[in-house]
Amino acid sequence: MPSYTAPTRDMQFLLHEVLDVSSAGIPGYDELEADFTGAVLDEAGKIASEVLAPLNEVGDREGCTLENGIVRTPAGFKAAYEQMCAGGWLGLDLDPAHGGQGMPYLLGTAVGEIFVSANMAFQMYLGLTHGACSAIHAHGSAEQKAVYLAKMTAGTWSGTMNLTEPHCGTDLGQIRTRAEPQDDGSYKITGTKIFISAGDQDLSENVIHLVLARAPGGGPGTRGISLFIVPKFLVNEDGSLGERNAVSVGNIEEKMGIHGNATCVMNYDGATGFLIGDLHKGMRAMFTMMNEARIGVGLQGYAQAEAAYQNALAYARERLQGRAVGGAQNPDGPADPLIVHPDVRRMLMEQKSFVEGARAFAFWGAELIDRHMRMGDEDAHGLISLMTPVIKGFLTDKGFESTVLAQQVLGGHGYIEEQGMSQFVRDARITQIYEGANGIQALDLVGRKLGLDGGRHVMAFFEMVKDFIKENNDNEALNADFLTPLKAASKDLQAAGMYFMQHGMKTPENALSGAYDFMHLFGHTCLGLMWARMAKSALAALEAGRGDAAFYEAKLATGRYYMARQLPATTLHLRRIETGAAPVMSLAEDAF
């Protein structure tokens, strides 16, 4: 069975050396002293290793069941859920006014990664509730906040998001679920929602569904959609649970992975719902939740890769197979460990260099969110809006590939379910699909985010890269291995942007045909920037003789792998982009 150890050393390096949180000047970051974050991460790591990780395989094997309308989660999930709630983990970065601990989003991100690595299907029950809290916090009335937030922050009640219907996923303008206004100001909600993660369970006392539906008087398409709160049990005035609402689970889907999470068909049969936010402005409210969810899904992508990598590495160290090309490394044994072989090393370095770069990217993104939420920094907001599809799309695509590589290290044993590597692959696969399939992320990036505020945010990104290179130009140790490749990648990214400007305005298909490659080109450039930053911090630590030299040397070697072997993919992506729409679109639909 796979095991998991939280990468707390790497997280501390990011927090205190790369991001240097204590001097970032962000309100609340003064609390993030190294001892404190170290203690929090250690504690999260302990629960992850001892409680959540051992339940990962149980969840996969048992899955969830639906009997007489009751959803049952796998054995052990309820006890683990209670422990997580009792520890206050759900509300770590939520509003203290409703029982949260008010920690920065950045710390929530680090802790979230740990829990997701250990047991993604389980953590989704908490993650969906967290997202629903954010939406209610941002768009709910004072009364709604008072009724729901404290219970949800404590995990006593949970939350879900209901968008997809059988005939429409991405294209939410086709939504048919109806909301009929009632005399008391509430609505009757009727319709079917599918693919509802954590749609119901036996963990929480109540489930607060956030549901997109169409109320009378709205326009067609997405303009006529509103967001409603539909509790499983209606809430009495005193906050106690009232009667059962007319919402039920129609089915639990059989999926490729994340079996421990109940993906439900939800039937709303005239269920009582309450408008949240403005009428017919439901999409805007839902986007609060979706943006948070998208960044969370990007995190899932690399968190699964981290967990899979740890187990591939352990196997590569233990399994004795073949001899090193330069002569036996384990002459007393029947063979050398797998890790001596260059191609095994290649697979491990691919994973390691991706995961560490991805973590830096996610943490940086979380810092931008804190800058916006805690300081009202609109530049940071613009930048993270631009980055959100990249974090979601790139980190999940590469995260999935990374789990496949991890499985490959085990050879035939990786294909056997008992070893647990298959589960990482099957679980990671969903991250490329849900919260907007990655093709939609690419479309969002190129069709919407690039041009946002006149292209100001992508220009700011280029400036940031340019400034970093300029500031560190005299740092010879950094220059050849890190700055030069970063410069090349950034040039490719700019050239791709230029291509879209010149060829995509008149013929949008020229841009849309290259959108996916652009997302990857952007992602690689971001990871290149992250690695350059990490290398700078590692070099500084070595120069200062701060101790733990092996850690910093490893960081540099891993970064050099990324810059030498992964980053040059930008050139291929640019080349694909510059072929424009013709190769993609010239085959007529009926000629396929």
User: Which are the catalytic amino acids?
Assistant: 435
The span from the CA of 522 to the CA of 426, in Å, is 26
Helix 515-543 with 549-561: angle, nearest 10 deg: 150
For its own copies, give the closer residue by CB, 336 or 370: 336
Kindly tell me which of 29 and 400 has the beta carbon lying closer to its own copies. Answer: 400
Return the number of the residue (383 or 530) whose C-beta is nearest its own copies.
530
Alpha-carbon distance of 466 to 310, in angstroms, equals: 35
In angstroms, what is the minimal distance from the CB of 561 to its own copies?
A: 4
Which of positions 321-380 make contact with its own copies (CB under 8 A)? 321-322, 325-326, 334-335, 337, 339-349, 352
Site for its own copies in 565-584 (CB under 8 A): 565, 568-569, 571-572, 575-576, 579, 581-584
- In the bound state with its own copies, the residue whose beta carbon lies nearer, of 75 and 416, is 416
Task: Give the footprint of its own copies on residues 396-425 (CB under 8 A).
Answer: 400, 404, 407-408, 411-412, 414-418, 422, 425
Q: CB of residue 545 vs its own copies: minimum separation in angstroms?
A: 18
Choosing from 78, 255, 374, 491, the residue that interacts with its own copies (CB under 8 A) is: 255
Task: Draw the binding track, 511-540, toward its own copies (x: CB under 8 A; -: no contact).
Answer: -xx-xx------------------------
Question: Of 137 and 560, which CB lies nearer to its own copies in the complex structure?
Answer: 560
* Residues 63-102 contacting its own copies, CB under 8 A: none
CB 216 within 8 A of CB 181: yes
Q: Cβ of residue 400: shortest distance to its own copies, in angstroms?
A: 8
Shortest reach from residue 414's CB to its own copies, in Å: 7
The CA distance from 574 to 578, in Å, is 6
Closest to 492 (Cα-Cα) out of 559, 576, 390: 576
Q: How far apart are CA 439 and CA 389, in angstroms?
A: 10
For residue 565, the minimal CB distance to its own copies (Å) is 5
Sign of the Cα pseudo-torsion (422, 428, 434, 440, in order): negative
Residue 181 phi/psi, 5-degree rounding, is -65, 140
CB of 125: closest distance to its own copies in angstroms? Answer: 18
Q: Which of 24, 66, 138, 168 binds its own copies (CB under 8 A)?
A: 168
Q: Does 256 bind its own copies (CB under 8 A)?
A: yes
Q: How buried is residue 480: exposed, middle or buried, by Cβ count under 10 Å (0-12/13-18/19+)?
A: exposed
Q: What does the alpha-carbon distance between residue 275 and residue 319 come to, in Å, rounded to a whole number?
A: 58
Calpha distance 254→263 (Å, rounded): 8
| Shortest distance in whole angstroms from residue 200 CB to its own copies | 18
d(CA 54, CA 207): 26
DSSP secondary structure of 18-87? IS-GGGS--TTGGG--HHHHHHHHHHHHHHIIIIIHHHHHHHHHH--EEETTEEEPPTTHHHHHHHHHHT
**Interface of this chain with its own copies, residues 537 to 566, rule: CB under 8 A:** 550, 553-554, 557-558, 560-561, 564-565
Pick the binder of its own copies from 42, 253, 378, 548 (CB under 8 A).
253
Q: Which span sits near its own copies by CB under 8 A: 31-39, 151-159, 313-321, 470-478? A: 313-321
Helix (H, G, I), strand (E, B) or coil at 202: coil
